[in-house]
Amino acid sequence: MLYRIAKIEDIDDICVLIDDAIREMESHEIFQWDDLYPTREDFLEDIEKKSLYLVLEGNIIVAMYVISGESDEAYNNVNWNCTDETAYVLHRFCVSPSFQNRGIGKKVLIHIEEQIKNMGYESVRLDVFTKNPFAQKLYRTNGYEVRGYADWRKGRFDLMEKKL
């Protein structure tokens, strides 16, 4: 698998992957993402900031993720284990439905953790929808711990952290 920063010419393929992922989640009655979030504009902004990464097998996007120092205001109300200065945040992590159930999520998550560690950070933070058992299992079995929660438009999200 090849990891690289997304480019503007990737935007259509990224949006197709997200649409596929939304349909897959909804088939499991997980109503986490929709036409309001995440949007094409969110991804264009991520590309501009050089924070959106693609995981490719050949020319096919297998997974994608965003890592940055930015987080929602709800993150400020949590008793984190590590300081804000030593933490980096994972957003919009998605494995293509065509490649799910092959261990790719775990492999990519390990890569993300190494990438963040190599950038000089000590922990990864993220939020995960409480009604997404697949994402919950991925993070919990890989050492992420709930530090708090946020209630957003779609419901409750666990705010999680892992010390690297």
Contact present, 164 and 123 (Cβ < 8 Å): yes
pTM score? 0.93
| Six-digit token string for 55 | 């995981």
Query: Which sequence spans correspond to the domains of the chain?
Result: 2-163
The 10s digit of each residue's pLDDT in 101-133 is 899 999 999 999 999 999 999 999 999 999 999
CA angle centred on 50, ends 44 and 54, rounded to 5°: 80
| Per-residue pLDDT at 34 exceeds 90 | no
Residue pointed to by tokens 């393929």: 13
| Per-residue pLDDT at 48 exceeds 90 | yes
Other beta carbons less than 10 A from residue 34's beta carbon: 13
Please tell me the CATH code under which domain 2-163 is placed. 3.40.630.30
Averaged pLDDT score across all residues of the chain: 94
**Phi/psi of residue 18, each to 5°?**
-65, -40
Parallel/antiparallel/unpaired status of strands 52-57 and 2-5: antiparallel
The percent of residues in the chain predicted with pLDDT above 70, rounded, is 100
d(CA 139, CA 161): 9
